[in-house]
Chains A and B, each alone.
Chain A
Amino acid sequence: MKRLTASGSAAAATARLVIVAALCAFQYWLLATTIESHHAGNHRISLFTFIVSMICFVSGAALVVTGETGELATRKIASKKEGNQDDG
C-alpha cells in the first residue's frame, strides 16, 4: 500500500474531520426529526432512523479508527527511516 506524506496525511485527517462532522450534522437533523414525529404520534420511522443513525456512527468510527491506524503506521515507518539515516 502506498504511504502518505506528512502533508498528505494532514489532508486526509482534514477530510476525515469534514466527513465525521457532516455525519454528525445529519444525525442531529435525524434525531430532531424523529423526536418531532414521535411527539406527533408517528412511531413507525423511529426504528428506521435509529438504524440509519447507527450506520452513520459506525461508519464515522470506522473511518476514524482506520485513519488513525494508518497514520500511526506511516509515522512508525518514517521514524524507522530517520533512525536508519542517523545510523548511516
Chain B
Amino acid sequence: MSDESGCVHEKWREDFPIGKDADEQICRRDFIRFLTLVSGGLALGNASIWLKSLRPVEGTFDKLEVCKVTDLEPGSWTVFQYPDAKTPSILIRRESGEFVAFHQKCPHLACPVSYERSADGRGEQISCHCHNGKFDINNGQGVAGPPRELRPLRMVLLDIENDRVFATGLADFGGKS
C-alpha cells in the first residue's frame, strides 16, 4: 500500500508504531527492571534464611505415636511429621525388623530422601534423588554425593511399647541421643 507521497505505507506500522531502535531500548530497559526485581527476590531469600537461623530449633519433644509395629512390613517405610507438623520424617522398618527414623529433608538442598534396598535385599540405604546423595541407614551419615561433606540426617528417637512405635525426640548429630 502507498500513500499520496508515494511512500510505502505498511498497515502493521499503525498498530505498532515503534521504530527498531526504540523497540530494542524498551526491551532492554524492561529486562533490567525485571532483573532488579529478581535481585530483590534473591536478597529476600537470604533474609528469610537469616531469620530462620535466629529461631531456636531445640526444645522439648512430645511423644508421638507413629504406627503399629504390624503396619510396616520389613523392608518398607512410611512418612510422618515430627517434631512439628511442618517437619516430615521417615520411619523405616529394616530387613532385620529393626525400626529407624530420620528427618526427611536432605541436608544438601532439602529434597526429600527415601529408603532404598538392593534387589537381593542385602544392601539398605537412604537416598536423595536430587543429586544422588546416599546416607548410611545406621546413623544418617552421608556416604555418597554432596551430603558426604555435610551434616548427617537428623535421627528421630523411637520407642516401642505395646506393639506401637512412638517417636520420642531427636538425636544429636551423629545419631546419639
Name A residues whose Cβ lies closer than 8 Å to a Cβ of B.
6, 10, 13-14, 16-17, 20-21, 23-24, 27-28, 30-32, 34-36, 38-41, 43, 46-47, 49-50, 53-54, 56-57, 60-61, 64, 68
Cβ-neighbour of A64 out of B36, B108, B110 (below 8 A): B36
**Alpha-carbon distance A20/B173, docked complex (angstroms):** 40
Find the B residue at minimum CB distance from A49.
B46
Chain B residues with CB below 8 A from A40, complex form: 107, 149-151
Output the least CB separation between B41 and chain A (Å).
9
Taking the closest CB of chain A, its distance from the CB of B34, in whole angstroms, is 10
Q: Which of the residues A6, A23, A46, A64 comes within 8 Å of B50, measured between beta carbons?
A: A46
Per DSSP, chain B at the interface is: helix
Binding site for A on B (CB under 8 A): 21, 24-25, 28-29, 31-33, 35-36, 38-40, 42-43, 45-47, 49-50, 52-53, 105-110, 146, 149-151, 173
Q: Are A61 and B32 in contact (CB under 8 A)?
A: no
Contact check, A34 vs B49: say whether CB atoms are below 8 A apart: yes
**Do the beta carbons of B35 and A60 come within 8 Å of each other?**
yes
Asked, given contacts A13-B29, A50-B50, whether A39 binds B106 with beta carbons under 8 Å apart, the answer is yes
Q: Which of A6, A10, A38, A54 contacts B49 (CB 8 A)?
A: A38
Interface of A is mostly: helix
Residue numbers in B under 8 Å from A31 (CB-CB): 42, 45-46, 49
Contacts of A20 in B (CB 8 A): 32, 35-36, 39
A66 to chain B, nearest CB (A): 12
Give Cα A41 to B149, complex, Å: 12
Structural contact, B150 and A53, CB atoms closer than 8 A: no
Q: A41 touching B42 by the CB < 8 A rule?
A: no
Let me know if A46 and B46 touch, CB within 8 A: yes
Contacting residues, chain A, for B24 (C-beta < 8 A): 10
Partner of B107, one of A39, A43, A68: A39
Residue from the set B43, B52, B146 with the largest chain A CB neighbour count within 10 Å: B43
B46→A38 contact, CB < 8 A? no
Are A38 and B52 in contact, CB atoms less than 8 angstroms apart? Answer: yes
The answer for the CA separation of A13 and B21 in the assembled complex, in Å, is 13
A39/B110 in contact, CB under 8 A: yes
